[in-house]
Amino acid sequence: MEELYTLEREVGRGSYGVVFEGYMAKTGQRVAIKWLPCSDPERIELYLQELWAMRATAMNHVNVIALHSCLLQTGPRTLKPLKPGKVPQRLVESVLKGRVAGAARWREWDDVQRGSGPPGPGLQDGTNSLQGESKSSASDSSTPHRTPRNRVRKRPAPREEEEPKTPPPRCLALWLVMEYCDGGDLNRYLLSRPPDCGRNRGVVRQLCSAVAFLHSLGITHRDLKPDNVLVCVTQGGPVVKVADFGLSKMSEGPVDGELTRQHYSSTCGSDFYMAPEVWGGLTYTARADIFSLGVMFWAVLERITFLEEGAKREQLGAYVCRGRWLMPLGEALWENADLQLCIPTKFKRTPPLPPPPGAAVSALLLAMLASDPDTRPPADQLEARVSAALEEDAR
């Protein structure tokens, strides 16, 4: 591989992987490098969903995180770039079979060859490098080679039932090389600064544009929340990027089209942003993304925050108060579809606060947060409706 990436430091860690800040050695461009260990089929399925979605979006929208390249790790320091449109068959096999393909054979082979179990990623933060396998990789000690004792004698061809002496390359991890966002996530960026109405409206408009683009490609995100929105700081203001497509699903056409509308059944997402139909375990469509956007927009425009049990950092999100307890909007609406939401909010909040949204924006937020998903505005109409509502309230 021609490119060389240098890992500098860890910048994020989640349930499924670790994100590092790094650089392209040739250009000095800063990138984010996400390490995804292929340790079990459930993880691998999420990785493949994320990879497919990011490849579909490529670098075609300014408000969606860009994927530069994907690397497959097959040894302690052996990585191979994946060609566009290609995925390792052994990863797909692992998902279909419900177990990591070839794991037992590889462990057995490793014990004999190395006297130890399967190697770890072998690439940590600091000054280590990620480098693809080159043509000179024949000297790599991690790759076994056969040296014939007598070149005159022909080695008999193995019978069909014989097992190959060298197992096929295993898939230890995927490395996704993405654009780097220096502003952190949306929670951190907005809550570390005084309220700014212009900035908030810009964030809302950009998120509308991003989700409209994703839905036009047939991608339903299914986990929209401020933690999954990254920010690039520019002279013209913040540029937000929708990221983390591990729970996303893809359909063959635009997800809001009547003939291609895809229904999903698995309950997934984050509690405070999940739609009522997802909370209730019903089948749902891409309109669940619109509800999640509504929760985010309300929180961003009014600076509504909450602190989850065990968490140390405030998060942007709207909710319903039940005495001393906070209830996610989706859960409250699932329990009572006729619940009347109060927009602007009447919750007690800590100043300084932005001015409350006007009548037009409040009405649009109520439409996005409707308990009936079919009455929520589709993504391809949302951007125009948000712009019109913001302009009407500004008069």
Which of 223, 227, 244, 256 does the annotation list as catalytic? 223
CA pair distance 128, 25, nearest whole angstrom: 12
How confident is the model over 103-122, as pLDDT tens digits? 654 454 444 444 433 333 33
CA pair distance 336, 179, nearest whole angstrom: 42
Of the candidates 215, 214, 221, the one whose C-alpha atom is nearest the C-alpha of residue 245 is: 221
Considering the chain, what is the average pLDDT of its residues?
A: 82
Statement: residue 155 has pLDDT above 70: no
Cα distances from 329 to residues 140, 148, 173, 317, 343, in angstroms, run 56, 70, 37, 9, 13
* Residue located via tokens 């906070």: 326
What the block records as the tokens of 168 is 């096929």
Residue 158's pLDDT is 53
Residue 98's pLDDT is 84
Q: Quick one: DSSP state of residue 227? A: G
| Helix residue ranges per DSSP H, the chain | 41-57, 89-97, 103-114, 186-191, 197-216, 276-279, 287-302, 329-335, 359-368, 379-394
Residue 323's pLDDT is 84
Identify the structural domains of the chain with CATH numbers, from first to last.
4-134+166-177 (3.30.200.20), 183-394 (1.10.510.10)
Statement: residue 194 has pLDDT above 90: yes
Catalytic: 223?
yes
Report residue 85's pLDDT band, with 50, 70 and 90 as the boundaries: confident
Of the candidates 278, 265, 326, 280, the one whose C-alpha atom is nearest the C-alpha of residue 299 is: 326
CA pair distance 317, 307, nearest whole angstrom: 10
CA pair distance 235, 240, nearest whole angstrom: 14
How confident is the model over 18-37, as pLDDT tens digits? 999 999 888 889 999 999 99
Q: Is the peptide bond before 352 cis (omega within 30 degrees of 0)?
A: yes
* Residue located via tokens 């979605």: 53
Residue 159's pLDDT is 54
